[in-house]
């Protein structure tokens, strides 16, 4: 039996558990079964916490999508991993964590929120791209937050063709490893709205790295201030980025829903 904790960040939900570094993990088929919301646990990603691989970190975590694939980074997931460790090990100060996407720092705020240093956004030489899809030219910006994203400016996220364009862009041949697709609406310099079609998952209620990518694009385009509130379907994240040469910080909740066990 595997004992797990069900957690979420603004409705972006996870199953979280700890294993030894050499423990065998569930197969891709098993992840798909457990992620099913009718016959399994139900989750967007599984977060597997393992012993630290670097001397200056507290733990290493791995991220598996509902399609069974392993990915590099997850912003809401990073906050949940940090909160899980805080509760389990009775921590109070900042901690450093590592995933395939690199090392991040997490801080615990007095109001119950978790802040995570997501590093510096990385843009590409050919970051501004236009693709012709179904007689439409879709323009977007590529950016990495330790995992791949594209960001599309839209006039209104409620009418944006997410269900139609999300799967096409996610699996476009331009992205051999697939990509996350963000649809971003400008409100004012300190406020935006966002919906994200996540790679290997579909549209989720919130995407932490997607919000970071949106902040990076809006800031680089000169449309955002250094601090921006981004509203996703599941709630609000606070983003701060001074610009190139500095790290981007994300602040939001990390909530425990319940604990349980499932047969391996």
pLDDT per position as a tens digit, 167-224: 999 999 999 999 999 999 999 999 999 999 999 999 999 999 999 999 999 999 999 9
Distance of CA 64 to the CA centre of its chain: 12
Same domain, 47 and 73: yes
pTM above 0.85, yes or no: yes
Q: What is the pLDDT of residues 52-67, one digit of tens each?
A: 999 999 999 999 999 9
Same domain, 139 and 103: no
Tokens 């999508």 map to which residue?
A: 65
Virtual torsion, Cα 84, 90, 93, 99, nearest 10 deg: -30
Q: What is the pLDDT of residue 173?
A: 93
List 45's β-bridge partners, or say none. 14, 65
Query: Span 29-55, mean pLDDT?
Result: 97
Same domain, 218 and 139: yes
Supply the range of the domain harboring residue 33: 2-117+253-262
Query: Phi and psi for 111 in degrees, rounded to 5?
Result: -90, 15
**38 contact partners, CB below 8 Å, separation of at least 6:** none
Same domain, 55 and 89: yes
**Is pLDDT above 80 for 21?**
yes
Same domain, 57 and 140: no
Same domain, 145 and 96: no
Catalytic residues: 74, 207
């Amino acid at each position: 039996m595997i004992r797990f904790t069900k957690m979420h960040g603004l409705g972006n939900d996870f199953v979280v558990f700890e294993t030894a570094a050499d423990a065998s993990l569930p197969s891709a088929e098993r992840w798909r079964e457990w992620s099913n919301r009718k016959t399994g646990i139900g989750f967007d990603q599984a977060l597997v916490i393992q012993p630290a691989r670097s001397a200056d970190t507290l733990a290493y975590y791995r991220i598996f999508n509902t399609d069974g694939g392993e990915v590099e980074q997850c912003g809401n997931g990073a906050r949940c991993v940090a909160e899980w460790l805080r509760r389990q090990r009775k921590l109070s100060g900042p901690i450093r964590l590592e995933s395939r996407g690199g090392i991040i720092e997490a801080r615990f705020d007095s109001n119950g929120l978790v802040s995570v240093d997501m590093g510096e956004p990385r843009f590409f030489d050919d970051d501004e791209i236009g693709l012709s899809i179904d007689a439409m030219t879709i323009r977007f910006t590529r950016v990495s937050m330790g995992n791949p994203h594209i960001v599309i400016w839209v006039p209104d996220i409620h009418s944006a063709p997410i269900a139609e364009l999300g799967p096409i862009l996610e699996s476009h041949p331009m992205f051999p490893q697939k990509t996350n697709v963000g649809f971003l609406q400008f409100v004012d310099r300190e406020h935006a709205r966002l919906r994200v079609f996540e790679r290997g998952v579909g549209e989720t209620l919130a995407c932490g790295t997607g919000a970071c990518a949106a902040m990076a694009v809006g800031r680089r385009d000169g449309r955002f201030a250094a601090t921006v509130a981004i509203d996703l379907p599941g709630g609000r994240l606070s983003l701060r980025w001074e610009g190139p040469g500095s790290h981007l910080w994300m602040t939001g909740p990390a909530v425990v829903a319940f604990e349980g066990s499932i047969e391996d």
